[in-house]
Structure 1
Amino acid sequence: MKFFLKKGYGQHLLKDKYIINKIISIINPKHHNIMVEIGSGLGALTIPMIKYNNCISIIEIDKNFVHYLMYNKQIIESKIKIYLDDALKFNYNLLIKKHKKKLRIFGSLPYNIATTLIFHLFNNYIDNIKDMNFIMQKEVVNTLTANTGEKNYGCLSIMAQFYCRIKSLIEIHPKSFYPIPKVFSNMVYIKPYKKNPYKLNNIYLLKKIVQKAFSMRRKILRNSLKDIFSVDELNLFGIDYKIRAENVSISEYCQLAQYLELNNYSL
């Protein structure tokens, strides 16, 4: 197995069969679903999933893993399609147009690309994704799912929850992987809103406001946002200028972004 691993790809392979079966049970793949796996490795999730769904497309960057899978008997006998490609560069529209259905995306994501990848999917394919089930670093999942006022609540929480409903599902011990990582992992469920509750067109403005607020996390809003909003403008939306960035809800940040949008303000 060591032959296959490339440190630069941040590869940690699931090996715990109990956890693997639990993950597949949670994903609950149906035969009519269009499943897309990112980073299949040696097929720890792929192969047991075949008995539930053989319409699986694999996106794998490591040609050694692709070669291994192409000669696996269970893969050969299924209808699984393997793409040797970078998940950050792959054109998911190929699958969307081919199947004319929303995609269900899953996988154990390398820690070094996890957040970059999910925001790539949010920004480019959100309307054509049914749901996502990812295994990610526990600390990242804690941030993605954090609520207003919690210590992990920040830019990542707000921007992710703007797009989707996000839920942490199960914790996965480092010993469930090979090689053993130094951190715990969590499985996270990400479901795009059917109708986004935050009525905002200019997401760029939201991102800039949030970044500005959290760049001076320990300062009150009057100070951290003084270059954008006056105290009177914050009061207009019922936002106390004496609170800090982590105490402002996503809805309130969106209201501030809407205000700038209506007033043709650029950042």
Structure 2
Amino acid sequence: MNDYPLSNKHFLINYLKQHNIRLRKRYGQNFAVDKKLFETILAAADISPDDTIIEIGPGIGSLTEWLVSSGATVFAVEIDSALHPLLEHHFANCSRFMLIKGDILHSATLNTIENVFKNHSGKRKAIANLPYYITSPILIHLLQGTLKYNRIVVTMQKEVADRITAKTGTKQYSALTIFTQYYARCTLCGTFPPSSFFPSPQVSSSVVLIEPYDVLPMISKNADFFHSFVKLCFTQRRKMIKNSVSALLSKWKLSIDLQKRDAILLQHDISPDVRPECLSSETFINLANSLWEIMPQTIQHSFLRNEKGE
């Protein structure tokens, strides 16, 4: 008997037909059907029976079958109400499974997860198969949110995975690279063809292991300001950094002469003519911290209010 029936493509197709389930494009539903993919995810997650796992977007439960078999407690967050009855029925006899109905980005869902963490010891791990359109918002939530995870394993579009794990100076190096690597160590674990999913997407997917730092190795004076500056720099990545700094200062109506601007850059051994993609995360942080110091108090206060959620 197959212990993981939902991993079988033919079973899955019949299962969806039997229950009259129509996949919704707006949720980017592509269900995993590749044994090697499941094994890669579980190896990256390094699951122990004491772990508490938040599975984001279980779909019909193909990966969930593997997670509960690992012995850990699984809390699956599913937004699609049409799939709730299937998940409840399929895992009805599994005491280590609980369905959380809702959107992972909504406060009510976050409150539920917070209560889960209060009542369960062990390491906290998040595992997700994310459609392209929602990857960045969920990564921001997982890395910047109040809920802290020991380990995050995400299956995502290969192009996005390449950006998250990119090295300085490469074509893939981007604002998303700097954002994720500011909060965590990121490792590419494997890449899989469209045939690893049903229905097959048009692109390949990659599994990325994200290990959040217990203590950030680099500290920005204001994280939101830092990320805003980096994003502005990469909006036009072929611009020289001196022009990116000028654009930032102009955005907040701060006027300084070009000599002072270049002096700030040279203070951090940055050539004014270098492009953003050539600067390391550490260099970006040091530069952003210097720019923060010359920002008017009104600008600083607006970022500080955002940081406090006011």
TM-score between the two structures when normalised by the length of structure 2: 0.80
Conserved? CA contact 2:48–2:72, under 8 Å: no
Which has the higher mean CA deviation after the structures are superposed, 91-100 or 160-169?
A: 91-100
User: 3-state SS of the aligned residue for 1:189?
Assistant: strand
Deviations 1:98-132, CA, capped at 9 Å, x for gaps: 22555200021122211111101222136x21010
Structure 2 partner of 1:77: 94
Q: CA separation in 1, counterparts of 2:184 and 2:39?
A: 26
Distance 1:40 1:47 in 2: 10
Partner of 2:49: 31
Q: 2:32 aligns with which of 7, 10, 14?
A: 14
Secondary structure, counterpart of 2:86 in structure 1: helix
Identity of aligned residues (%): 29
Match of 2:118 among 86, 91, 97: 97
Distance 2:114 2:124 in 1: 10
Task: Select which of 167, 173, 178 maps to 2:193.
Answer: 173
Q: Which residue of 2 aligns with 1:59?
A: 77
The gaps in structure 2 that reach 5 residues or longer are 1-15, 250-259, 301-310
Report the CA distance shift for 1:84/1:112 in structure 2 as closer, same or farther (over 3 A).
same
Moved more, 210-219 or 60-69: 210-219
Residue 143 of structure 1 is matched in structure 2 by 163
| Distance (Å, rounded) in 2 between the aligned partners of 1:138 and 1:171 | 7
SS of aligned partner of 1:76? coil
Equivalent position SS for 2:146:
helix
Bigger helix fraction: 2
Deviating beyond 3 angstroms after TM superposition, the runs of 4 or more aligned structure 1 residues are: 261-267
Give runs of aligned pairs for residues 1-267 of structure 1, distance below 5 A: 1=16, 3-72=21-90, 74-89=91-106, 90-91=109-110, 92-125=113-146, 128-227=148-247, 228=249, 230-265=261-296, 266=299
In 2, distance between residues paired with 1:77 and 1:104? 19
The residue type paired with residue 158 of structure 1 is I
Report deviation, 1:25. Answer: 3.1
Larger deviation, residues 113-122 vs 130-139 = 113-122
Secondary structure of the 2:159 match is helix
TM-score (norm 1): 0.92
Q: Which whole-Å CA distance do the structure 1 matches of 2:145 and 2:44 have between them?
A: 26
Structure 2 Cα separation of the partners of residues 246 and 133 of structure 1: 26
Deviations 1:64-100 (A, max 9, x none): 222101111x542332110111111121322222225
Higher mean C-alpha deviation, range 174-183 or range 100-109: 100-109
1:50 Cα deviation (Å)? 1.8
- Residues 250, 205 of structure 1: CA spacing in aligned structure 2 closer, same or farther, 3 A cutoff? same
CA offset at residue 226 of structure 1? 2.2
Cα separation, partners in 2 of 1:7 and 1:152, compared to 1, 3 Å: same
Give deviations 1:159-178, integer Å, cap 9, x for gaps: 11111111111001100100
In 2, Cα distance between equivalents of 1:214 and 1:158: 11
User: Match of 2:118, as an amino acid?
Assistant: K
**What does the per-residue CA deviation read over 1:20-45, in whole Å, with 9 as the maximum and x for residues that have no partner?**
23322332311011111011112111
CA contact (8 A) 1:136 1:185 kept: yes
Secondary structure of 2:133 counterpart: coil
Q: Is the 8 A contact 1:205 1:260 kept in 2?
A: no
- Secondary structure at 2:210 match in 1: strand
SS at the partner of 1:31? coil
- Consecutive unaligned residues in structure 1, runs of 5 or more: none
Indicate if the aligned counterparts of 1:4 and 1:65 stay in contact, CA closer than 8 A.
no
1 CA distance for matches of 2:56 and 2:232?
Answer: 33
SS in 2 for 1:113: helix
Q: Residue type matched to 1:232 in 2?
A: A
Aligned residues: 265
Decide whether aligned partners of structure 1 residues 171 and 52 sit closer, same or farther in structure 2, where only a CA change above 3 A counts: same
